[in-house]
Structure 1
């Protein structure tokens, strides 16, 4: 099992951060994705990375401006993601994003440390998110 958590404070209010993070139709700000397919009911979506890999997601919880959680699966892993959102005293947003992955086999478990650097991917996501928020606020 792999687990990685990233914590950040953003200057945008929770409502704005929430809207960006949960809008799977608008992905131009994500440097790691080429496209996303969203189910008609909006509870499932599949992300396609720039290198062609796909990951399917099913929303588990969506408590506006507080908690967003989903399960995920690909051909090499399954897991869960949780995002916690809270307002800072200055009106910004404190976020805690946690990703837990279970690799499909021991070979992928070992290779994942080299091919799937979770912390690096989380940092890139936060950088992309900050850039997107700068265009909104």
Structure 2
């Protein structure tokens, strides 16, 4: 009797893992999320905030610590969830562009872009995040625990809070 129950549980576990794997295969390995945001701050002010990686712990709600290389072109973020994200600066043009590549200890990597331009008395920002998750199991789990755009939305919410006049 116990043997049959254990076999049934094992079969159920195999089916669940197979289903999770199949779902992961159906999800594209790379997803892209884009947001357009208006800021009351100048493009120079917004760029200064996003390019100051040493100061991000002070205003980002999900970061516990940031370690920056001596040249400032690479850094590691330590989010509150216990993971690590290694970043590399690709391009930074004041008041215009900020592009970084990243790799997570959780098995994903990607590219993050900010394009800024003056708009009236403020800034129009276009932010894009590309995330690649090679492992189908991790794609499925990632889709359930952190849907595309979730981290970008939190980042932009924090950025708006520190760039808007009080």
TM-score bin, normalised by smaller chain:
over 0.9
2:53 to 3, 21, 24: 24
1:119 to 149, 159, 164: 149
1:63 to 93, 112, 127: 93
Could you report, residue by residue, the CA deviation over 1:11-55 in whole angstroms, capped at 9, with x for unpaired residues?
A: 000011111111011121100100101000000011110111110
Deviation at 1:56, TM superposition (A): 0.4
Which runs of 5 or more structure 2 residues have no equivalent in the other structure? 1-29
SS of corresponding position for 1:118 = coil
Q: Whose strand fraction is larger, Structure 1's or Structure 2's?
A: 1
Give the alignment of 1:1-137 within 5 angstroms.
1-27=30-56, 28-75=58-105, 76-88=107-119, 90-134=120-164
Could you report, residue by residue, the CA deviation over 1:43-85 in whole angstroms, capped at 9, with x for unpaired residues?
A: 0011110111110010111111111111110131111111100
Q: Whose helix fraction is larger, Structure 1's or Structure 2's?
A: 2
Range 108-117 or range 1-10, more displaced: 108-117
CA contact (8 A) 2:40 2:164 kept: no
SS of corresponding position for 2:55 = coil
SS of corresponding position for 2:53 = coil
Q: Between Structure 1 and Structure 2, how many residues are aligned?
A: 135
SS of corresponding position for 1:62 = strand
- Give the whole-Å Cα distance in 1 for the aligned partners of 2:110 and 2:156: 20
Which runs of 5 or more structure 1 residues have no equivalent in the other structure? none
- Give the whole-Å Cα distance in 1 for the aligned partners of 2:79 and 2:131: 17
Range 42-51 or range 103-112, more displaced: 103-112
RMSD across aligned positions (CA): 1.3
SS of corresponding position for 2:81 = coil
Deviation at 1:121, TM superposition (A): 1.9
The normalised TM-score by structure 1 is 0.92
- Give the whole-Å Cα distance in 1 for the aligned partners of 2:73 and 2:131: 20
